[in-house]
Amino acid sequence: MPRRKKIQKKISVTAAKKRKNIRFEISLVILIGVLTFSAYLLLISLNWSSGAGSLQSPAVTNNRISSADVKRPTDYRLKDASIDFEARIPPQIGGWFYKIGYVKSPVDETLSNQYVTIYVSQGAASATNNFDDLAKNILTIRQFSQEEWEKLEKGCEKGNQFYCETAGARVGEKNDKVFAYTKPGSCPKSVEAKCRLADRIIKSFTLK
């Protein structure tokens, strides 16, 4: 008889352990399910946010484009009511365009500088119709305040290469405004001759 009691105790203990294991496994399955569902909801929310951002991006792009519209003149004179200077474009350049816009001041981010960039047609057709593939920048004229220009000159003299490259070469000044120009470091062979004509544009620079 005592042996039967020991056997019954062993059976009851084993059964209790099995019930505990089953409960643990069920709880583990439920926990995994909850975590999986939470991760799924998180992915949905992230995809929704990225989708909303992509819908808003064209508006930002449009604002940038409207601040620097590409203009196609009908003659060989750079003459625009929104800028304080004029220049002549050599007829040998052929098709040319220009953009007027504003960029942050290199010495004070609260200020902005007006610029004019002159482009020439590269001639080769582009499958993407991207403006940068169709036209090449040959000259940029930028307007600084006198105070900005002095800071750029001092920084350049102290070895600040960024200031030197941004400032360029002064071409004129009037009413506390300094006008300076920069040219690209290199030009494709297809428009190399046109790039060399940028110096003639600078020589014709006239303040209004």
* Domain end residue (candidates: 66, 86, 115): 66
Q: Cα(186)–Cα(141) distance, rounded to whole angstroms?
A: 17
Q: Collapsing DSSP states into helix, strand and coil, what is residue 33? A: helix
* Domain end residue (candidates: 66, 97, 112): 66
CA angle, 49 then 54 then 58, to 5°: 145
The contacts of residue 94 (CB under 8 Å, 6+ apart) are: 120, 121, 194
Query: 115 and 157 share a domain?
Result: yes
Query: 199 and 121 share a domain?
Result: yes
Query: 82 and 39 share a domain?
Result: no
Query: 56 and 107 share a domain?
Result: no
With a threshold of 0.95, does the pTM exceed it? no
Interval 115-167: pLDDT, tens: 999 999 886 555 556 666 678 999 999 999 999 999 999 999 999 999 999 99
Query: 76 and 162 share a domain?
Result: yes
Query: 131 and 88 share a domain?
Result: yes
Query: 141 and 155 share a domain?
Result: yes
Contact 150, 101 (CB under 8 A): no
Query: 77 and 179 share a domain?
Result: yes
* Domain end residue (candidates: 66, 86, 117): 66
Distance, C-alpha 60 to centroid of its chain: 11
Tokens at 78, concatenated: 């750079």
The tally of domains found in the chain comes to 2
Interval 34-92: pLDDT, tens: 667 666 555 544 443 333 333 232 222 333 333 357 898 889 999 999 999 999 999 99
Tokens at 138, concatenated: 């040959």
Q: Cα(73)–Cα(99) distance, rounded to whole angstroms?
A: 11
Q: How many CB atoms lie within 10 A of CB 43?
A: 10
Q: Order the strands of the 206-207 sheet from edge to edge.
A: 77-79, 85-88, 206-207
Query: 92 and 135 share a domain?
Result: yes
As beta bridge partners, residue 79 has: 86
Residue 182 belongs to domain spanning:
70-207
The pLDDT value recorded for residue 110 is: 86
Q: Collapsing DSSP states into helix, strand and coil, what is residue 151? A: helix
